[in-house]
Chains A and B, each alone.
Chain A
Amino acid sequence: MQLLIPRLQSWWLLWMATVITMAIVAASQLFTDRISLLLDRQATELLAADLMINSNHALPDNLRQQARELGLQTAEVVELRTAVFIDDEPQLVELKAVSSAYPLRGRLEKKKERLSEVITSERGPEPGEIWIDIKLADQMEQALEIGFQRLSANWILHFEPDRGGSLFNLAPRIMMHMDDLAATGLLVEGSRARYKLLVAGDVAAVADFKALIEPRLAESEKLQTIENARPEMRSALERTRMFFAMSIVLTLVIAMVAIAITARYATSRESTKVAVMRSFGISSRRLMRYYLMQFGKVWLLAVPAGLLGGMLAQFPLQWMLGFWFDSRLPDASATPYLLATVVGFVSLMGFSLPPLLRLIDIPPLQVLRPGSRRQTRAKFLGQTLISLLTLFVILLLIVPNMQLASWLFVAILATATFIPLVLKLILHGLNRIGPSRFWLKNYVLSRLLSQSRNALYVMSGFSLTLLSVLLISQVKDQLLMEWERQLPLDKPNYFLVNIPTQDVEALTRFLSDNAIPASEAYALVRARLTSINQQPLDQIEFDNERAYRMANHTFNISYTDQLPFENEIVQGQWLTASDDMQQFSVEEGLANDLGLGLGDRLEFDLAGSRFSATISSIRSVVWENFQPNFFIIGTREQLAQQPQTWLLSTYISEQNRPLLKPLLQLSPSVTLLDISELMQRVKQIINRASQALEFFFVFATLAAIIVLLSALNSANRERELEIALLQALGASRQHKRWSQVFEFVLMGLLVGFFAALFANLIGSVVAQRFFDLSFGFVPHLWISSIVSAILLITLVGSLFIYRSFSISPIRLLRS
């Protein structure tokens, strides 16, 4: 056991910093792993499963069999568009028959009447039950003829998790149990039904199942996963993941600062020992081996504690998130522990190596003349390069996005270089201004400028730490606020779709007469993409399943002269900039997925008639704004003559709800689509992301306090000698206290200033670059940064050095 104890002075501090780093990595990875799984699961609720196989024919039994063999749950769904008779009037509906296990993910919501309380249900209709869409709510009491069956509705279907497809082409839903479907006689040879097999269960088993069946699926059998989630949800989830990635990196930066500071401290305390050994003729290679072994021991001792710390952090997490998320967190994999072990090793060795190289480079002369060492520029650059490489490797290990990793690397590097330089300039400047008296201002400044104190290094480290904490807390709040601002309460909550051309004017007039806010009416031309640059679609190899699905879905193409609300041209020019009548404007995400660019020619098929145009612009779209958004927009000249329906979005408040009936009476074929549920779910994701990020804030703050403590500890011996000297020179208790308090306040002021400056700058860049959000000057960020830095450093610092005031000045004689 004795052999395992590192022979390094103050090794326990380095050990603690490594333990914290590993605990942060393990906990945050376990955390993100689980949040990610949870978010995926929430997104999978859009499928009502983890995975879905979709076909136009009944799916073979062996698929079900294989899923069950892997311990997975299955459910079945059959969907078909059919006409039902309500009071002898035909009504086109989307009929959905579900097996008893449906839904495997998410919940259904039902209610008895239009305005009655919503009841959550784990399962779909029982045999003999019929649930109908809110649009059919008025028919609740009437008999419905579905095929050969005559049934009456039991519930209004308020929400179904997997209401897929485009928002704009949904006929009213009728849901029934699978056992009742056969009796309707609707499923006959040639029926245009969709057969779905839903699968859910353990993450690994789902992956195994996917890998097993994917190569064997027939062409008409399509595998559907979360990748095909709605754009609104996908965008929300991607932003959330980005927030997490950023928070982890920033928390980790704090932990790495702690390692760098403690490694420097531990090695500096070895300098006399090394100088003596060097004077005895011990080679630097042997010394290097010796110290690497000591650092190796520190790592070995840190592994169990760090992993245990990371694991224990799960319990409060489980408790907090279990409460918030109202669901059990999925089991995490072993990867976070492995990653924590690797990151612990890389950061300990990487950040210890530069001070270690400096240490073993000590000339034997140091024994006789302390401070006689001079380091060459080449060696300094070499050592700096090692630290940078370490930082980059860790970023690559942690951040999944290479672009974000590189950007963070540059940002950290610039900050870490800039802060000490400017700090030094400011301290020198302050030293020159004001009266020439030494006590108190200049005395404190000399302490902060003293090389032996490493105060500049410590202040820069702590600025970086606080900057990270600020970015996680304040910037997060601002970004989330801005994100949420994009979803104000009076955003549209209804889409009116399937509006015949002749009814558009009457409907818009009705809405404006009743002061109901509504968007412009957009035409919808439903067409399928047939070729890109004259190459038929079936001959094009797409990179991924999502691109394939996107290319093959039915597009709702619109035309308008005005660039729609919150759309921005990112490439090319808007349609009206040219007289060319054959132009398309394509949404950025679709263009990326299908590899489309300006000048590419797209051809569409609409019931046998074909039309084509070239892409003249690429647009960005804010999907979460719940305005009518389109993947493709063409010119009026080209599309106005095509068969079309219209849609518009509107905000109908609770008090305007009675107007819905007369509105629908104006155009009976119009479908009213309530999207407030979908909006609610996106808002829920934002809220959950915000709460989860609070947890990182706690982590980051704890790590920041450890940085502060290790920084204080690294200068403690010097500080004690200074206090003892003041005491020997006859300074009063007040003198001693003021010197320390003033120093802490000044440090806090400078640290707080720099942290706020960089948090604001980096926040703005990150907001624009990665989150498509704006982030300006935030005064309260500056105030909270400066005040918290002063309070934290002064309080923790004063508590930490409290005992130093009673240290006997006899130490001066003994040192």
Chain B
Amino acid sequence: MEDCIEVSNLSKTVRAPEGQLMILQDINLKVKRGEALVISGESGSGKTTLLGMMAGLDTSDQGEVILLGQSLADKNEEQRAGIRNGRVGFVFQSFHLVTGATAMQNVMLPLELSGSDAAEQRALQVLSEVGLEHRLHTPVERLSGGEQQRVAIARAYAVNPEILFADEPTGNLDSKTGQQIIDLLFNLRDSSGTSLVLVTHEQRLASRGDRQIRMLAGRIDVDGSSAMSV
């Protein structure tokens, strides 16, 4: 199967009060099309940084990331945004919805930014898929946490992304709602065939992916199939 993300010799250093701190060190990994990769680890192990760099939200000091067949190494922010546009979806821990706008409008946003003419129909469809057909025109700040994360998932899936990055999507939710959100994410992945890169600190979620990477102090500690890790 073709790789949609290829990370080679990736390192990242940040400045800390105690001097230069290496938060990612010599990372090598590949994500295949349609694969569900779960990145887990303790807080501060570098998992969110790795996700950001794989998605082109951040740049590396060393090494290379190839996203959807294009190297991010020599691309500026504008060019990286161009690669993501319409091909990559995000789900964040803090939802990051456009407050003051309705659920529909939030889902229509990435569609319209990518020049879609049928944004409204597609938003309606995907919101129905996440079970929010009765909350279409509700301003998002009036929705519950679980509902807000559903809108965020609908927004991410609306553009039919090739890859979906999810950063701690259950971090702000209770365990029951969190479980529902994870189910929704994987069901949508199964039906759409989208690659999924999910960052979580919850070890129990690791088994849901096709493959799990466990980070420890900026390095990949374990890289294997979920069945292996279990």
Binding site for B on A (CB under 8 A): 371, 436-439, 442-443, 445-453, 721-722, 725-733, 735, 806, 808-810, 812-815
Contacts and interface: CB of A to CB of B under 8 A. Distances in A.
A730 B82 contact: yes
Cβ-closest 10 pairs across A and B: A730-B85, A450-B100, A446-B101, A446-B100, A439-B112, A810-B58, A438-B105, A730-B84, A449-B100, A438-B108
A558 to B, nearest CB: 70
Contacts of A445: 100
Contacts of A371: 141
A532 B54 CA distance: 97
DSSP class of A's interface residues: helix, strand, loop or mixed?
Answer: helix
B99 interface: yes
Given A438-B112, A442-B105, A729-B109, A812 B92 contact: yes
17 contacts: A438-B119, A442-B105, A722-B98, A725-B98, A729-B155, A730-B82, A730-B84, A731-B81, A733-B78, A806-B77, A810-B57, A812-B90, A812-B92, A812-B96, A813-B93, A813-B167, A815-B94
Name the interface size band of chain B: 35 or more
B110 interface: yes
A728 B105 CA distance: 17
B51 interface: yes
A39 B84 CA distance: 69
A735 B113 contact: yes
B38 interface: no
Contacts of B108: 437-439
B92 A732 contact: no
A732 B94 CA distance: 23
A729 B78 contact: no
A452 B99 contact: yes
B48 interface: yes
Contacts of B119: 437-438
B44 interface: no
B133 interface: no
Interface in B102-143: 104-105, 108-110, 112-114, 119-120, 141
A468 B92 CA distance: 44
Contacts, number: 106
Nearest to A455: B100
B99 A451 contact: yes
Given A437-B119, A730-B84, A731-B85, A451 B167 contact: no
A237 B104 CA distance: 63
A721 B77 contact: no
A809 B99 contact: no
Given A448-B100, A725-B96, A813-B48, 5 more contacts: A443-B101, A450-B99, A728-B55, A810-B52, A812-B94
Residue among B59, B94, B109, B155 with max Cβ neighbours from chain A (10 Å): B109
Contacts of B81: 727, 730-733
Contact of A439 (B57, B93, B113): B113
Contact of A438 (B52, B55, B84, B109): B109
Interface string B31-60: 000000000000000001101100101110
A777 B177 CA distance: 60
B157 to A, nearest CB: 13
B86 interface: yes
Contact of A730 (B58, B86, B99): B86
Query: Considering residues A453, A726, A730, A815, which has the most beta carbons from chain B within 10 angstroms of its beta carbon?
Result: A730
Nearest to A371: B141
B108 to A, nearest CB: 4
A728 B57 contact: yes
A442 B57 CA distance: 26
B67 interface: no
B72 interface: no
Contacts of A452: 99, 141
A726 B77 CA distance: 12
B57 A437 contact: no
A808 B77 contact: yes
B88 interface: yes
Given A726-B113, A732-B81, A732-B82, A451 B141 contact: yes
Contacts of A815: 94, 96
Contacts of A437: 108, 112, 119
Contacts of B112: 437-439
Given A450-B99, A806-B77, A810-B57, A439 B109 contact: yes
Interface in B171-226: none
A443 B85 contact: no
Nearest to B156: A729
A154 to B, nearest CB: 83
Nearest to B85: A730
Q: Which of B49, B55, B81, B114 has the most CB of A within 10 A?
A: B81
A338 to B, nearest CB: 46
Contacts of B155: 729
Contact of A728 (B59, B84, B94, B141): B84
Interface in B52-82: 52, 55, 57-59, 77-78, 81-82
Contacts of B104: 438
Contacts of A730: 81-82, 84-88, 110, 113-114
Interface centre among A448, A450, A453 (most CB of B within 10 A): A450
Contact of B98 (A436, A446, A731, A732): A446
A28 B132 CA distance: 59
B15 to A, nearest CB: 15
A18 B98 CA distance: 34
A727 B52 CA distance: 13
Contact of B52 (A721, A729, A813): A813
A808 B57 contact: yes
Contacts of B55: 728
A371 B77 CA distance: 33
A451 B57 contact: no
A809 B109 contact: no
